[in-house]
Structure 1
């Protein structure tokens, strides 16, 4: 409700002005002039006073109660379109098109009230509580079992002590009786002793042949020889273990049955008193074990949990058609099937790892959400002007620095526009960078689809539309190159309508904005469209607390180490925070914005470069700030372990059908091994996917290794061992790697444009004959000093250290063995004279055309493209 004067309010209410002034005064508000302005808050206060005066219950504020919860806008437009007939000679027809639109906007608060609490968070908290309760119950059950076991052990020990005491008492009593029996009779009682001796005399064994004692010798205790007691009943002493033919599993009864000897009755009685004999007994029923298995497990660990031989598990897997060894891993589903085959049961292992702790911390980090800048991704076909349009907005020259004039990296920038801060993500348009475009669409709020008005809808345009729909983000179409004479926006609209992208003037919901990146026409309208769309979406985020987001791009810098370009989506990322980024972790040592300036922190929707990680993360990984370094390290190690197990499971997924198919092919399929090194992670990923896709049934392209950074000695050694071709994409080999490459005669090729790599690998793989274009380095000059010239700008004072630098050849500027610029020489001078070439060991002055950022220590590489006839 807008502010009005007291006179206008009295007219609307139908109340005299004096009465309304009196009521305002009674409500505690001082108004004396009818032309004074009364605000919405004061009107609400007056309404509450009047309700209380009339004895009514005070209701919700007028502003909240009477303000509309939704607004419906109706629009009717009439336009004309020209329909070109399909028959020749027929004239074009003009058709009037009337469009009626009805659009309803609902307040964000209404939508939020209707929405329930995030079910995923509730489910995570519920599972966490269940796991805690289950763990506490297991702890209580384990403690109760330990207590019962201790009580049983104490009872058994007491019973054993009682039995031992009884046995000792019986033995002592018998010994006393035997002593009384064997003692000689006194002379005073010869007649009485004889009958008693005869009464207690027991049968004695016959003398064995060869023994030195007579058969009727009196019974005596056998003497001890050394530490062993002599055999008195055909066996060893009861106090030590018995060995019957080296078979330890036999009990005394089993040994007696084998030897045919009968044990004395007294020993049997003692054994029955002391309890059953401890001997092995075969189980009467199969033992069913219940084990817990995570997402994957190695065959050796799985066999150990089942208490079976590893060969039995491998045999069961072989019967199921899975060829694995005992050291390879299998997934959870395969483990369940194998366990059921062997008669056991598998349950899912509870996730009590550091990931659970991390999720619990994230669930506890909540705060008040505030409006954040929108994240806009520029997408479209190659060479349709995406980077040029962004370049006009940023007032810089980015497209001039890209090799071949095409973007090969994801660029992230935040721009201060008159409409507010907007973050832009520039994605490549080449077909090989499909994964980059997918990541850009998933990390964005709005997608701006750039279509050239003179070219129309192309394959990568359709792919960008599919990525935007998959990510469920709104679309804005920027029809670029409207300054050209052959620009036809109707062709663009008709082409996009076929893919269900309908403009607003044709009854759709997609905004079409004609722009020109060259002249700047329509750029303000495009920014207005982005701002309006962002206001409708009501983008919010928590501006403080622990930060989280996604990795846009990553690379390995020679001086700074691993560098990751991240987009902060929640919280505040500060220098000194501990972060987990995929399988890498570390402490943030420094933060840089897109211009290279160091910043202390970054909020939501702001892209920054992060230094201090333990390694180069994968592009597209999520990052999150954790409490301490220990938790970060634990989470990173567990993720690394899971990724390694998943990779082993993929490698172990060789089924018998695949092996039979390979055996049927014989030796007809050739293999081309490649080692790919690139300057950033996204380019390496795009190269690996594009080159692997060239594989056919006759030729297999195998990328045995890929990574970021310069070509090292280990890369050259791997290529020599596997007879692979080394591909350097905007990177160079160091001195040790070059020595190995020259010694082994390896094929090393440098590229700076991705479709050159794909074309050459296709030519080699398919065996097509023709001319091959190669880049041969003819000279390298090292920059010693930089001078400023009013005519040429920055002039590099150089020393030619390799080959010859020629004037009319293309050049590249290298910094730390990484290409930072590619262009041509503007001038080549020796003292004050222009020269055509400068040889090795000679000083010269070099002016690089359209590039003034040359620094001492850089290398200027002069090369030429030569055509070589391919031979068999």
Structure 2
């Protein structure tokens, strides 16, 4: 029996993907994503259901559901049609959709740059291709489903550096893996960085045109790091491609558009401007040039921008094609001239009404920075302050480094057995060799601890960890490393206490003291009594008081505890104690879980 992909059926029937998924949910059909396949019988049911709903014409509703595409093709006609037609029912959100922003990461020599170059040359008009890499670290690709913006960043560490400064510039991460090499150390690092950023991932299996290419091996290796491809019953999209021949590139772009549609990316072009610096450089003739990704609102020539503790006025603005423009909306990369200093990658950009407002905002940020520096000297927050109520399930994020693959697998095997319903152990990255500054960067953004076995971090790496307050610990004995993990887990579990009996004493006389009140002169008949222990006073069969042993004395000396067979003075901070009372002591002890 033939099968049909969900997104293909949605396109044929003229309904959007989200509506199609709603129909499948109503029919009780299981699926992983819109790229999953369904049986022909299910297709017939869906066609019948839509027919019963009066869904006849398919092309027109689809065009109405995608006004942005229609407007791009025929702006004048679309505008006239919109004016002539009655107002359509309001969508769940009035904020328009925006183009997805994609970053490509992976191991060196696996074809990241080649893939970008192919997409750039095939999807960007020839007049727009010249000088893109030199001028703007991003470009826009035109596809049948609309615009896709690609960021041409140096790699996953730059991606996380941007995140470390508070900006999530990418909506989707493409992980490039060579079909002849499979998973490599930098591949694992790139995946860890994408997972820490919590952005959807699509794996592009490159170089499938090579004789030694083995796509199945790549998919199998992905399952070993808990990334299960759709072919194997998981939800990870994998696309075989060739950056040299162009094979699979259209499929990759289709999956990017589908993922973006499911993410429901929106931005208000009329809202407040917000953006992020992708890169900046100093040109000998022009001066400081900064590439900014517009994330919300619209940027205009003449606007005042604030970045960090500096500001500037836009004198000129250039798009990714190298053409001068006067305004730029959401998901548009632009290069601007107007800053006196080169801003750092990942810095957030906001607009100001005028120069006075820009100066005030810069002054406010400088004051906030000084307050933050002072706050570092204050006491650290408690575990509950940082992680929230201790009743919730907690995650311990770890980065592991070991001397051999065998050691790494042994440690991971032990850690897997340490997980419980209360605490989940999440190994962001596990690799062979000493930790790097990239590991420290990842740990700082993911709030992780770096544990090393039989490898020693370089001085610069240790210094970077200290500066960012990252726990970086090295061990030579595996059990010491496991003990450290136990300590981390214990700190993430709400402790359980139980009351444990200590001993009892009989009150034989009451001593009046002018400052301390009534002291119970007692004889310890069983166990021991300890200062600060919980105390329960019984008179006959009735409990008359519950409190704490405030003080213990042997003759005139203060003591910490008194054993069976000794006399002592007990101060309960309670003046109604009487001869014949029985004082029973107990303490709260933590129960091992």
TM (norm. structure 1) is: 0.32
CA radius of gyration, larger in? 1
Q: Which has the higher contact order (CA 8 A, sep 6+)?
A: 2
TM (norm. structure 2) is: 0.46
